[in-house]
Structure 1
Amino acid sequence: MTELSDKDLENQVAAALEEVDDPELGIDLINLGLIYDIQVQKRTCTITMTLTIMGCPLADTLDKQIKEAVTAIAGIDECQINLVWEPAWSIDRLSRYARLTLGIHD
């Protein structure tokens, strides 16, 4: 079996993160715009992301769910999360799907 490229694995990680929902909003992390970057190198995935608010009470829950989803992908052994606050998250980062789901109309 051919080993997947890092780019292929990054695409699989993005797809896996579409299955990880914010428990309060019921929308996945990708559509919420919380994921800023995904990089895979040498079987390690590094995710740069933010949260909707500092001190989010769900941070530990999301951390666990993300790591479980990512390390379930064949070819990834480790997941590191780089939590950043710049650029700050805003509703401008929501996808069209998330906007419709939350009832936000432009």
Structure 2
Amino acid sequence: MDASTQQNPAEGTPLIAPSTTDHPLYESVVEACRSVYDPEIPVNIYDLGLVYTITLDEENAVKIVMTLTAPGCPVAGEMPGWLADAVNSVAGVKDVDVEMTFDPQWGMDMMSDEARLELGFM
């Protein structure tokens, strides 16, 4: 296996892992994510597309993989904590782990239609 094969995911493997959308707490966790805003952008981080993956296990532990609009974002050190606090407030959630990633890099195409409309891109 050469170096390029090791760094590139297998063909057909999603760049962003799928979320646990069938878990009973999933929608409540999404709503909690929508309560967190990037202070420089008037749209919540979920609709901005900064929350890549939400996984929930059978014990209601939540793992969130998120990114930022840019690696040098001024709130890079604080936003994962804001998100963890918001999700921890959901009834039934046992534990929250927020992981930061920049792979894949965030792009404006990751925003929801609502976010694009709010920011005047539609």
Provide the TM-score with structure 2 as the length reference.
0.75
Identity of aligned residues (%): 35
Aligned length: 100
Give CA deviations for 1:39-69 in whole Å, capped at 9, x if unaligned: 1122321001111101211123312211111
> If each structure's helix is expressed as a fraction of its own residues, which one has the higher value?
1
In 1, Cα distance between the equivalents of 2:24 and 2:36? 19
Larger Rg: 2
4+ runs of 1 displaced by more than 6 Å?
none
In 1, Cα distance between the equivalents of 2:27 and 2:102? 24
Provide the TM-score with structure 1 as the length reference.
0.85
Give CA deviations for 1:17-43 in whole Å, capped at 9, x if unaligned: 111111110210111001111011223
Matches within 5 A, 1:1-106: 7-41=23-57, 42-105=59-122
DSSP 3-state at the match of 2:56:
strand
Provide structure 1 residue ranges, at least 5 long, that are not aligned to the other structure. Answer: 1-5
Deviation at 1:77, TM superposition (A): 2.5
> If each structure's strand is expressed as a fraction of its own residues, which one has the higher value?
1
Computed over aligned residues only, the root mean square deviation of the Cα atoms, in angstroms, reads: 1.4
